Amino acid sequence: MMQQKKPSTQQLLQEIESLRREVEQLQREKADLQILLETATADTGAAVRQLYESNKQLQAEVAAAIALRHCESATQQAKLAEVQSLLAKAATEKADLEILLETTIAHADTVEQVLHSQNIRDPLTGLFNRRYMDQFLRRELRHAQRLCQPLGLILLDIDHFKRFNDTFGHLAGDAVLREMGRLLQAHQSSSDIACRYGGEELVLIVPATSLKETAARAEQVRQAVKLLNLEHYRQPLGGITISLGVACFPDHGQSSAALIRAADAALYRAKALGRDRLVTADSLKPL
């Protein structure tokens, strides 16, 4: 169904003028009828009654026509006011959108940085996530192969973390992981990255670092963790310890998967030996 075009204000004025002329014509016709009625008074009663009824009907039609035109005019005016209100609202919304667009463009770099950070960071610890760790490790291994450089990897796990959660609650456990994230970031150099590998397992990747130097870095982290004095809502959480497995390219793996397996095996041995210690992959021997 096609939408009827709303008449303009000029058209409404023209219609009112036309109506005024029609009323004048009807008034002239009414005057003529009145003269005819006076002239025909001497005629029969039937003729008089007929003229009277015709005049009465004509007056009713004029009144109805005028009322209809007034009603239509009021309706059109109401619709015009509604359209003007909608246009004003649309203009305001357009202005708001233009301001929002200008603000977004002005802060595009900041928005992009936030989105990128959300994609590669673990929200709890602030460390890089597992996905980014895999990409970084593969890239750094290719770089180490080209330059014939070593690359160290430290895999660490919080000792008895489940028992800790059961005692103090998962919110307290989250607080410990956040503190571990801050500690690892404080102990990484500009070329290192610290990641959350999964659960309470964390990873520190140290490019261009030998096995001996990587083990020394791991021991520094272990000692720093032992010095933590953690609280959660003013409740002392007691001391925590970590176990660490250390592996190094190229001696313990040529690929990222092989290197992680070697570090994981060393971590498992550290736990088996009593926890709160580090084990390097080259020292793995049957117990």
Is the pLDDT reported for residue 286 higher than 60? no
Question: Is the torsion defined by CA of 256, 204, 247, 281 positive or negative?
Answer: negative
The pLDDT of 226-231, averaged and rounded, is: 87
User: Residue 3 gets which letter from DSSP?
Assistant: P
Cα separation, 206 vs 209, in Å, equals: 6
Cα separation, 44 vs 163, in Å, equals: 121
Q: What is the pLDDT of residue 62?
A: 64
pLDDT tens digit sequence for 83-132 = 667 666 666 666 666 665 665 556 545 444 444 445 899 999 999 999 99
User: Which active-site residues does the annotation give?
Assistant: 200
Cα separation, 111 vs 120, in Å, equals: 15
Q: What is the pLDDT of residue 267?
A: 97
The pLDDT of 255-279, averaged and rounded, is: 96
In this structure, which amino acid lies at residue 6? K
Cα separation, 118 vs 126, in Å, equals: 10
pLDDT tens digit sequence for 230-253 = 887 878 878 899 999 999 999 999
Average predicted confidence (pLDDT) for the chain? 80
Q: Give me the CATH topology for the region 124-283.
A: Alpha-Beta Plaits (3.30.70)
Q: What is the pLDDT of residue 197?
A: 95
Name the residue among 161, 216, 163, 212 with its Cα closest to residue 187.
216
Region label for 269, one of left (φ > 0), alpha (ψ between -120 and 50) or beta (otherwise) = alpha
The pLDDT of 188-198, averaged and rounded, is: 92
Name the residue among 188, 177, 119, 183 with its Cα closest to residue 153.
188
- Which H or E run contains 278? strand 278-280
Assign 3-state DSSP to the chain and report helix, strand, coil percentages, each to 5. Answer: 65, 15, 20
Q: What is the pLDDT of residue 115?
A: 40
**What separation in angstroms does the CA of 54 have from each of 37, 46, 62, 198, 201?**
11, 12, 12, 99, 104
The pLDDT of 222-230, averaged and rounded, is: 92
Q: What is the pLDDT of residue 16?
A: 72
pLDDT tens digit sequence for 142-167 = 999 999 999 999 999 999 998 878 88
Q: What is the pLDDT of residue 246?
A: 98
Q: What is the pLDDT of residue 181?
A: 95
Sheet with 278-280, side-by-side order of all strands? 193-198, 201-207, 151-158, 242-249, 278-280
Q: What is the pLDDT of residue 219?
A: 97
Across 3-7, 47-51, 212-216, 230-234, which has the greatest mean pLDDT? Answer: 212-216
Residue 250 preceded by cis peptide, ω within 30: yes
pLDDT tens digit sequence for 30-76 = 666 666 656 655 554 555 566 567 667 767 776 666 666 665 566 66
